[in-house]
Amino acid sequence: MMVHWLSPVGCLAVRCSYTRLLGISRVEAADPALLEAPVCELAGETIRQLGEYFEGRRREFSLPVEQEGTAFEQSVWRELCNVPYGSRISYRELAERIGKPRAYRAVGNANGRNRLCIIVPCHRIIRSDGATGGYAYGPQMKEYLLELERKA
């Protein structure tokens, strides 16, 4: 099931089964049919928690998630969830945390394949020189999320 939700960073597509959140991504334009689609309980809860996040009232998410990926990608995504709200670490530090200190480029690639933006907070990972670095949904969205968390 997929629904579209108009968020402060644009239209987000929320995709889930009845038991697991499968994806959150930004889409260029909202599909009116998906904005008005019946919302299953999990999609509704996801939208509620995201709304609280954008209002500055939520720092962690409690949603059942599922992403398909390699064992390496899974380890990166798990560790992303351990980066605290408002914190920033480098791709190199993330690689060290998963026990692969030389794999910082592969960590960046795994970040780019994260299908659960915001929930699995890949936006908190920056370059070693302090620059924001890449983000699948563009630097403006990444900067917005980092600033939102910095202010709270």
Residues with a catalytic annotation lie at 122
Token code pair at residue 125:
């990972």
Token code pair at residue 98:
């998963």
Token code pair at residue 56:
């500055």
Alpha helix segments (H runs only) across the chain: 32-35, 41-54, 71-80, 91-97, 104-112, 139-151
DSSP character for 86? T
Identify how many contiguous H helices and E strands the chain contains and give both numbers. 6, 5
> Among positive and negative, which fits the CA dihedral 49, 54, 59, 60?
positive
Rounded Cα distance between 133 and 108, Å, is 9
